[in-house]
Each structure stands twice: as structure tokens, then as C-alpha cells.
């Protein structure tokens, strides 16, 4: 069945195809992750111009015939994030987030919470509302929660025994959270303060130091690798 898609989108992958075409992977607000053929996309055309760039939000029109590939009919810039593109650290963080999102979003399935989390991070980077890696750490924890992979930072994921709030705990993010010593424990430890921050960050924006962000991102890396196969935060 032929379907016209008109939606805001984020470009998360672009691959050359043939002599002048592109195959792009888009995260769309209306239809989730969609792969599309862009005829003549490697040339500057009126249909796409210079709009097929990551980080910016793009308004796209797609012709979807129900196969693996839709066809991109038109793309225009909807939300330009010029400051992020000029800031190397912010640009690197945005790239990591978009790669995580590409692996997490299932094809053709609407994910409104994950879409809002991803776009919200890009907007926060553009507004310079905090250290880029701290913004990434919080958004990554929320993104995991959006897809049902929230880390349990309260109790052992195997036996459900609560962990005392004032005590450091062993955490295995690949297994979903804390693991008590009786259940084998884990190599990585998380402090009570970092547990508190990580727990809150799964639901809302929180303030954290760059050092705390780096520690949380190490934990997030383990979880992302387990659920998506992608590493590199």
C-alpha cells in the first residue's frame, strides 16, 4: 500500500548508492526509523539542497510503498543547530547520541518518548545548557529507559534484594543493574551518590559534574553494547 509520509526527521546514516544516489536512514517523528532512497542525492538538487545533514532537524516528505526502502521526495531544514556544528565536543556528543538512537530505534515503529529524548538532547547541546558529556549521560539513561532498558539502581537484578542507600554497590549494566555479592556481584562499583544521580537522570534532567558524567557513561556504554552491539560513548 502506498503511503505518503510528512514528518520531522533526523538523519542518522547516509550511504552512497550507484553513481549519484544515496540511501539514508532517518529517525522520523511520525513513523520511527525509515530507510529511504534519495535519487540524485549526491548532487545538489532543489528537492534536498544541503538539508541532508546530521544534527539538524529536517522536514521530509517520503513516498512509502511498503518495501524496505521508501523514496525521499523532499527535504528542508526545519531546525538548524549551527552552534553545535561549530563546537567539536558538542558535535561529537551529538554523533554518539545519533548512533545510539539508530541502533535502538526499531524499523517503522513510532517511539515518541525516545524521539523527544533525542531531540531534547540536541536542543540542549545547541543551547549550551550544560557540559556536553553531562547532557549526554543523562539523555542516554533516559533513552535506555524509553526502550525498556532502564537500569535498576535500587535492588539486585537477580534476587531483588534491596541495596542500602548509603552503601556502594556492584553494577553490571549488561545484566540490567545492581548485582549483590550473593548473586556473584560485578567488577564495576557505583557510589551511593552516583546511584542517586543515575536514578534521577532516568526520569528528568539533573545536574552532575563532568567526572560523574564520565562514570555514568562508562556504565551506559556497557548497557548500549549489550542491547545494541554498538560501543563508543
> What pLDDT does residue 209 have?
93
180 pLDDT more than 80: yes
Mean pLDDT, range 213-223, rounded to an integer:
95
233 lies in some domain: no
> What pLDDT does residue 158 have?
95
CA distance 25 to 16: 12
Q: Are residues 90 and 146 in the same domain?
A: yes
> What pLDDT does residue 1 have?
61
At 208, the pLDDT band (50, 70, 90 cuts) reads: very high
CA distance 136 to 192: 21
Q: Are residues 72 and 181 in the same domain?
A: no
170 lies in some domain: yes
> What pLDDT does residue 12 have?
96
Which of 79, 109, 128 is the last residue before a domain boundary? 79
206 pLDDT more than 60: yes
The closest alpha carbon to 70, from 11, 21, 2, 19, belongs to: 2
> CB under 8 Å to 224, separation ≥6 — which residues?
100, 103, 140, 144, 230, 231, 233
60 lies in some domain: yes
- Give the pTM: 0.92
Q: Are residues 51 and 96 in the same domain?
A: no
At 167, the pLDDT band (50, 70, 90 cuts) reads: very high
Q: What domain range is 34 assigned to?
A: 3-79
193 pLDDT more than 90: yes
> What pLDDT does residue 18 have?
81
> What pLDDT does residue 50 have?
74
> What pLDDT does residue 54 have?
92
Residue pair 198/190 in contact (Cβ under 8 Å)? The answer is: yes
**Beta carbons within 10 angstroms of residue 195's beta carbon:** 21
- Worst-scoring range by mean pLDDT, 16-25, 85-94, 135-144, 152-161? 16-25
44 pLDDT more than 80: no
At 45, the pLDDT band (50, 70, 90 cuts) reads: low
CA distance 213 to 117: 17
Q: How far is CA 39 from CA 74, 81, 109, in A?
A: 11, 26, 25
The closest alpha carbon to 98, from 26, 32, 49, 8, belongs to: 26
Which of 49, 79, 109 is the last residue before a domain boundary? 79
48 pLDDT more than 80: no
Q: Are residues 104 and 204 in the same domain?
A: yes
> CB under 8 Å to 203, separation ≥6 — which residues?
142, 145
Mean pLDDT, range 10-34, rounded to an integer:
93
Residue pair 69/76 in contact (Cβ under 8 Å)? The answer is: no
Which of 37, 57, 79 is the last residue before a domain boundary? 79
The closest alpha carbon to 24, from 32, 10, 36, 16, belongs to: 36
223 pLDDT more than 70: yes
Mean pLDDT, range 74-94, rounded to an integer:
96
232 pLDDT more than 60: no
Amino acid at each position: 500500500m502506498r503511503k505518503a509520509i510528512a514528518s520531522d526527521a533526523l538523519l542518522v546514516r547516509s550511504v552512497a548508492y550507484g553513481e549519484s544516489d544515496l540511501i539514508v536512514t532517518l529517525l522520523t517523528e511520525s513513523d520511527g526509523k525509515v530507510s529511504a532512497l534519495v535519487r540524485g542525492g549526491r548532487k545538489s538538487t532543489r528537492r534536498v539542497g544541503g538539508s541532508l545533514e546530521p544534527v539538524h532537524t529536517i522536514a521530509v516528505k517520503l513516498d512509502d510503498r511498503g518495501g524496505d526502502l521508501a523514496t525521499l521526495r523532499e527535504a528542508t531544514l526545519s531546525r538548524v543547530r549551527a552552534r553545535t556544528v561549530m563546537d567539536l565536543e558538542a558535535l561529537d556528543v551529538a554523533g554518539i547520541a545519533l548512533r545510539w538512537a539508530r541502533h535502538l530505534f526499531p524499523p517503522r515503529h513510532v517511539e515518541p518518548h525516545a524521539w523527544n529524548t533525542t531531540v531534547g538532547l540536541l536542543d540542549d547541546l545547541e543551547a549550551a545548557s550544560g557540559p556536553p558529556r553531562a547532557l549526554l549521560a543523562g539523555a542516554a539513561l533516559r533513552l535506555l529507559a524509553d526502550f525498556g532498558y532502564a537500569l535498576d539502581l535500587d535492588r539486585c537484578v537477580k534476587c531483588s534484594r534491596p541495596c542500602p542507600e548509603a552503601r556502594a554497590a556492584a553494577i553490571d549494566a549488561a545484566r540490567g543493574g545492581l548485582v549483590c555479592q550473593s548473586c556473584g556481584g560485578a567488577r564495576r562499583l557505583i557510589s551511593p551518590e552516583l546511584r542517586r544521580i543515575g536514578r534521577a537522570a532516568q526520569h528528568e534532567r539533573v545536574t552532575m559534574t563532568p567526572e560523574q558524567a564520565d562514570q555514568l557513561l562508562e556504565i551506559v556504554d556497557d548497557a548500549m553494547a549489550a542491547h545494541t552491539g554498538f560501543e563508543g560513548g
